[in-house]
Amino acid sequence: MAGVLPDRGSLLPTEREAAKSYRYGLAVALWHPEVTESLLKGSLAVFDACSVEPSHLTVHRVPGCYELPLAAKWLLEHHQVDAVVALGCLIRGETQHDDIIARATAGGLLQISLEWSRPVAFGVLTVATLDQARARAGGEWGNKGAEASVSAIRMLCLRGTTPLIPGYPFTDTP
């Protein structure tokens, strides 16, 4: 069963304000476009709610999830973005193909994030059915694309100038 992060869609006013000063790259896989376009819509809604200028957003579509790590690298390298949001959907099939692609994608995105010391938010669904994907792309389990954008903003704030507020949301400071 999927977990739910507390306050997963809400950003602090300081985080919303800081979000405007960064540039974001969004890499969106073309497989399962019904799902990935919904993830993109949720992601863009977060940036819109933070008043991020459209000129600070670069959106590129890639063939599939396997291509997301290279797309993230190119967005960082050639578009000089501060963070990447990678969006995709892998639905389990009859073979192990989805597992191989999921592991390669996750590992590749992590590697790019660590190499570039920049957030690469993981908005890739790995599900058993299309219904599960729909539930996580704007359905009953929220929108994981929106959550990935929130994660990217929070990580940029952690690295940047936005001060940590004691006790919120991930500190043990009294």
DSSP state of 137: E
> Of residues 32, 56, 79, 97, which has the active-site annotation?
97
Burial pattern 92-110, b for ≥16 Cβ within 10 A else e, equals eeeeeebeebbeebbebbe
Question: CB–CB of 66/100 below 8 Å?
Answer: no
Q: Could you count the other beta carbons within 10 Å of the beta carbon of residue 138?
A: 19
Assess whether 97 carries a catalytic annotation: yes
Q: Which residues are catalytic?
A: 97
